[in-house]
Amino acid sequence: MDEREGMGRRAIARCDVLGAPPYSLAVDRLDRPFLTSAHAAAGAIIGGWMTEAGLTTRIDPIGNLIGRLGPKDAPALIIGSHIDSVRDAGRYDGPLGVMIGVECAQALHRRGRPLPFALEVVAFGDEEGSRFPVSMMGSRGMTAPLPLEQLELTDAEGISVAEALTAFGLDPVRVNDAVRGPGEVLAYVEPHIEQGPALEAAGLALGVVTAIVGQARLRVRFKGVAGHAGATPMPLRHDALAAAAEAVLAVERVCAAGPVDLVGTVGRLLTPIAAYNVILGEAEIGVDVRAAADSTRDAAAAAIRREIEALAERRGVAVEIEVAQALPACPCDAHLVDLMEAAVASVGVSPLRLVSGAGHDAMVLARIAPVAMLFIRCAGGISHNPAEHASAADADLACRAMLAFIDRLAEEHA
Ligand code: GLV
Ligand code: MN
Ligand code: MN
């Protein structure tokens, strides 16, 4: 097997290894939340692959795994993505970008010709936000101090971020030491599966991202009156779950009536108990709203809030709506986009420019450095689903395009 052809195959094979215990908490699905034993196990094996590739590794104070090649004080080109997952995940959303970074580092290390900048491969610990109510804690913690109250946020078991950091072997008091200093990051590039169908429809293996849509998370808590399912007449109920159900449909209605790029999802519904014979007194939903323009997203979030407040009042149910997170839309750096386009063309793929509807660590790194993203075709556009699939051949093209990109950037900095 030609070493270059092997890059994509090995990247995919490593993602597959990471798809089962101990790199997943569950045996029957991939579940790797931030700061869990599965996250630690994944960090250990990936750290070993980074070392083999010639990188010097460390875990930063917010739990990101960082492998570095090149001079200690030089600004770094970071290739990164995340290694946490949603609760029943595919194997490539996040880890494939990290594995491609490791392949690039290994190829450059073997080549032995130094780059005019350092190269870092970063495996962010929390992009999905599937454990705590906020997301991107890994990349946010690298770009700016985390708001102190976020260390007190708790997961479904009541464990706080601070406690989880301690259990992971980190010191919550030092968490802000993860913030990178001015000039430390030359640029950030994230290879990632597309998670949509555009590349497959165009018959193309790779695409270049021009912008990432903004996203907001609303945490909505209903408080009604718990009651007996048999003995409480329908007009006398204050059913928190029925209010939450109506709110789910309000989110769908508001977003379906907006422009095509506006999307709204409720993928989180929590109740303190589950019972056939109890009218539930409490329910919580998590609302995710996204659009290409922040003004569109904010107007939709405001309309959703008005609808939810009105339905709660009509039902005699109290409601609390909290904006858990609002990440602005993020344009990629125009020059790096051009460079990535040329790199993609150089490996024989006609470059297609795309907007990302999914969120990525790149939208956070953009606060401190120019960013670019390379998209890799995924079968049927399916993602956040165990059926997610990317091919070794496409991953191989991605590795080669990334190396071509790095060479072009190196020429500019020579
Ligand atoms: C992450 O996959 C997100 O887009 O929320
Ligand atoms: Mn994801
Ligand atoms: Mn992802």
| Six token digits for residue 231 | 């003995």
Tell me the sheet residues that pair with 306: none
Measured from the CA of 290, which atom of ligand 1 is nearest? 4
| Six token digits for residue 99 | 């594995």
Helix axes of 294-315 and 240-256: crossing angle, nearest 10 degrees: 150
Structure confidence at residue 200 (pLDDT): 98
* Ligand 1 probe mutation, 81, 88, 128, most atoms within 8 A of CB: 128
> How many C-beta atoms lie closer than 10 Å to residue 296's C-beta?
19
- Buried residues in 146-158 as b, exposed as e (16+ CB within 10 A): beeebbebebeee
Check pLDDT > 60 for residue 88: yes
pLDDT digits 0-9 by tens, 136-147: 999 999 999 999
Contact status, residue 270 vs residue 331, Cβ threshold 8 Å: no
pLDDT digits 0-9 by tens, 192-214: 999 999 999 999 999 999 999 99
| Six token digits for residue 160 | 């706080």
Mean pLDDT of the chain: 96
Average pLDDT over residues 179-196: 97
| Six token digits for residue 69 | 């090649």
Residue whose Cα lies nearest atom 5 of ligand 1: it is: 359
| Six token digits for residue 284 | 């919580």
Q: How confident is the model at residue 5 (pLDDT cuts 50, 70, 90)?
A: low
- 223 φ, ψ (degrees, to nearest 5): -130, 110
Percent of the chain clearing pLDDT 90 (strictly above): 96
- Calpha distance 362→122 (Å, rounded): 12
Percent of the chain clearing pLDDT 70 (strictly above): 99
Average pLDDT over residues 357-378: 97
What one-character DSSP code corresponds to residue 89? B
Check pLDDT > 90 for residue 363: yes
Which 3 state secondary structure label does DSSP give 297?
Answer: helix
Measured from the CA of 129, which atom of ligand 1 is nearest? 5
Structure confidence at residue 1 (pLDDT): 43
- Calpha distance 228→230 (Å, rounded): 5
- Calpha distance 86→29 (Å, rounded): 10
Structure confidence at residue 283 (pLDDT): 98
| Six token digits for residue 75 | 């600004």
Measured from the CA of 128, which atom of ligand 1 is nearest? 1
Check pLDDT > 50 for residue 274: yes
Check pLDDT > 80 for residue 362: yes
Residue whose Cα lies nearest atom 3 of ligand 1: it is: 359
Q: How confident is the model at residue 72 (pLDDT cuts 50, 70, 90)?
A: confident
Structure confidence at residue 167 (pLDDT): 98
Contact status, residue 29 vs residue 386, Cβ threshold 8 Å: yes
Average pLDDT over residues 223-232: 98
Q: Which secondary structure element, helix H or strand E, spans residue 310, and what is its range?
A: helix 294-315
- 307 φ, ψ (degrees, to nearest 5): -65, -40
User: Which residues, 6+ apart, have CB-to-CB distance to 65 below 8 Å?
Assistant: 43, 46, 47, 50, 57, 58, 59, 83, 122, 123, 125
CB of 358 within 6 A of ligand 1: the answer is yes
* Ligand 1 probe mutation, 87, 127, 194, 373, most atoms within 8 A of CB: 127
Average pLDDT over residues 69-86: 96
Measured from the CA of 135, which atom of ligand 1 is nearest? 5
Contact status, residue 149 vs residue 51, Cβ threshold 8 Å: no
Q: How confident is the model at residue 121 (pLDDT cuts 50, 70, 90)?
A: very high
C-alpha distances out from residue 199 to 166, 328, 349, Å: 42, 25, 11
Contact status, residue 192 vs residue 199, Cβ threshold 8 Å: no
C-alpha distances out from residue 153 to 83, 142, 158, 161, 168, Å: 21, 19, 9, 6, 16
Domains belonging to the chain, first-starting first, are 3-212+329-413 (3.40.630.10), 214-327 (3.30.70.360)
CB of 128 within 6 A of ligand 1: the answer is yes
Average pLDDT over residues 349-373: 96
Contact status, residue 235 vs residue 279, Cβ threshold 8 Å: no
Of 226, 223, 222, 224, which Cα lies nearest the Cα of 279? 226
- Buried residues in 103-127 as b, exposed as e (16+ CB within 10 A): bbbbbbeeeeeebbbbbbbbbbbbb
* Side chain identity at residue 191, one-letter code: P
Contact status, residue 136 vs residue 361, Cβ threshold 8 Å: yes
